[in-house]
Structure 1
Amino acid sequence: MSATHLNQRGETFFLNLRFLLIVCVFIGNAIEPLISRMDGIHSLYMWIFTFHMPLFVFVTGYFAKSSLTGEAGRKVLLQIGMQYIIFQTLYSVLDITVFQVKNIQHSFFAPYLLLWFLASHFCWRLVLLSLRKCSPLQQIAISVLLGVLVGYLQLDGTWLSFSRTFVFLPFFIAGYHFSFAALEKFLTRKVRVTGMMLSAGLFLVLYLGGGNLIPGWLYGNMTYMQLDHHEWYAGLIRLSLYLLQLFAGAIFLSFVPAKESRLTDFGRRTLYVFLLHGLIIRVAAASPLYDYIHTGAATLGLIAGAVILTVLLSQPAVRKWTSPAIEPPVQWVVELERRALGQFNH
């Protein structure tokens, strides 16, 4: 098999994975208001959170291979920065004008809702660039150490997404160095069936005994002190959670189809789902929708709605109408920078 064909197969697999993950993201955010009402929904929510953020960061690292350095890397950083400014402003304006939320402090240094991912993505790239002289194994070891140590700092973990940046950094670096060839050989039919069974088993374990697992540990945005763990060995808990997330993420890969399909095309536009679905979740939370959801059937309807909306937001028409905000052009900034540097050199 040629390297080009292998790269295409890898891209297909990870685009499929990216779409399945954004479906999980939408479902997880949609059912969050219900987790205190229903044990089954709480278990589903915790099951999703054991893998969906680590894997999403992992996939992001994988696709960063071609755009980490050089002008391509600079353009990505510029675009992430512009996306953050646009949506941080949009959410703040909507809170003040439409939702009229009181007692909430808006700041560009405190990422709003899901925008933490943009702030962290910006930082992951910078950190990985600074570690380029280290071997991949050394990079992962350093990132795991940083992810453990950041929990001991006495600060607000949500500030500039500082905590999540370092907690999920190992997954970004692992994704960047990941080889699809090794995975493809491993994902046999038997392994896929086993993975699905183990994933179901994980859900059962969470259903039977996951009530004591604090979601904040999986969010990665809280320090050990904020999680009410002041022990010196609190970092060992994070290490054990890394193992849980690694296990949950690995077995979720058994759900991912390897062949190109409609999912692959949808996977090319997950950024649109990611940034736009937060608006839908915000509107739903402000509406009386959740007052009417008390039964399993209604909950299934909510989950089905989240899946349908994910597909709708993945359509080319959505990209056509929202691309100026989702993928803002940055070439004009690059040109301004070149002109400024040219004048400075003269």
Structure 2
Amino acid sequence: MFDAASSPGQNRRSLPPAQSPRDAVPDARTPQARPGKQRDAFFDNAKYLAIVLVAVGHAWEPLKGDSRVLQGAYMVVYAFHMPAFIIISGFFSRSFDMRPDRLKRLLTGVALPYIVFETAYPLFKRYVDHSPDQEISLLDPWYLTWFLCALFIWRLTTPIWKAIRLPLPVAFAIAMLATVSPSIGDDLDLQRVLQFLPYFVLGLCMKPEHFQLVRRRSVRIAAVPVFAAALAFGWWAVPRMNAAWFYHRDSAQELGMPWWYGPLMVLAMFGCSLLLTACFFALVPRRKTWFTALGAGTLYGYLLHGFVVKFADYQGWLDHGWLHRPVGEVLVSVLAGGAVTLLCTRPVQRVFRCVVEPRMDWAFRAEPVSATREGGARERGRDKVPV
């Protein structure tokens, strides 16, 4: 949340007011900044670093079975990288309502990419992995498309969470009920949608000053031993804990545990994830860095890096024995981080914008001029509110 090179009291500035969902969703499309409106470097930095962890975590999957250390690191990364994304997504969804322009943005920026990539990934597997029986189903998210499906549902329900009095306790109750309901099934990956829901609702409830709490030097210093302790605990937990808990995609019964484990694990996982996410935010630089601009292209990196990881897996590139040793694991991690970095760059965005950020004005009715002016006035007024 602050510049790691600065001392306390330097470069202190308040966070900007919450941007509309179309401008700052950490995982979704980010258009060019509007005149007079400056992007906050912290959130772009956080999005980029989180997407690198996502790609590295996916690259570790074929390797982690041979290394207890790597399995422990895998657990730690999976404990906070998606919660961090989801919390930021919720934070920047606070202004979402049913206004036509925002619904249009939701459809073109989340729903359409879901349909495109939910179709593309099974086709990719069918022809690259020679799996002719691979089916295409828009109701069963494949690989990493579950997040777009979840984001669509979470954002569509945002007005409800803003209207009720105790949104976070209600979200926890829903997540707990999901963990004891194996009958939910795989449609739309609802287990993940419901179990990750508290993180999105927490983001909706947060204010800019909450992010400033981790800007203090003491929090930044404390984050280092906390991560060290988490890695040690992850190493210890490898033979004692099922890593599937971190995916939030199964009920307690499906993981072979008594039903009452589910609600307890929701609370335990939330506490651990929130602590590590706070430490992650504390270590994210607030100043502009060489990778700050890449934060605007994280949806491209998220959706496209899966093809790279899966291609390497289908071709057996990760089966070589030397890659399962420490030097190979480090090399795979570096290559995964480099690949997702390239996929977040502007040239890649220009090539794939037609499917990731389509405008599709032809598909929507023109908005009344009065409504457009009124919405613009509200946005300008919000930008002037001090925080």
TM-score > 0.5 by shorter chain: yes
Q: CA deviation at 1:30?
A: 0.5
Amino acid corresponding to residue 283 of structure 2 in structure 1: F
* Aligned equivalents of 2:179, 2:306: Cα separation in 1: 27
The equivalent of 2:75 in structure 1 is: 46
Q: Which moved more, 1:229-238 or 1:109-118?
A: 229-238
**Residues 111, 161 of structure 1: 8 Å contact kept:** yes
The equivalent of 1:224 in structure 2 is: 252
SS at match of 1:231: coil
Structure 1: stretches of 5+ with no match in the other structure? 339-346
Correspondence 1:1-346 to 2 at 5 A = 11-79=40-108, 80-101=110-131, 104-135=134-165, 138-155=166-183, 157-292=185-320, 293-335=323-365
* Aligned equivalents of 2:96, 2:362: Cα separation in 1: 19
* Aligned equivalents of 2:288, 2:62: Cα separation in 1: 35
Q: 1:64 to 1:6 in 2, by over 3 A?
A: closer
The count of residues paired between Structure 1 and Structure 2 equals: 336
**Residues 179, 263 of structure 2: 8 Å contact kept:** yes
SS at match of 1:262: coil
Amino acid corresponding to residue 42 of structure 2 in structure 1: F
Q: Which moved more, 1:205-214 or 1:39-48?
A: 205-214
**Residues 120, 165 of structure 1: 8 Å contact kept:** yes
Structure 2 length as normaliser, TM-score? Answer: 0.81
Q: CA deviation at 1:28?
A: 0.2
**Residues 156, 222 of structure 1: 8 Å contact kept:** no
- Alignment identity in percent? 26
Q: CA deviation at 1:182?
A: 3.3
Q: 1:93 to 1:250 in 2, by over 3 A?
A: same
The CA deviation string for residues 302-331 of structure 1, in whole angstroms up to 9 with x for no partner, is 101011112211111000111001112232
Amino acid corresponding to residue 107 of structure 1 in structure 2: S
The CA deviation string for residues 164-209 of structure 1, in whole angstroms up to 9 with x for no partner, is 1111111111112322223325422221011122111111111123
SS at match of 1:155: helix
Q: Which moved more, 1:18-27 or 1:284-293?
A: 284-293
Q: 1:61 to 1:68 in 2, by over 3 A?
A: farther
* Aligned equivalents of 1:200, 1:298: Cα separation in 2: 23
SS at match of 1:211: coil
Structure 1 length as normaliser, TM-score? Answer: 0.90
Amino acid corresponding to residue 182 of structure 1 in structure 2: H
- Write 1 or 2 for the structure with the bigger share of helix: 1
SS at match of 1:328: coil
Amino acid corresponding to residue 79 of structure 2 in structure 1: T
* Aligned equivalents of 2:254, 2:220: Cα separation in 1: 38
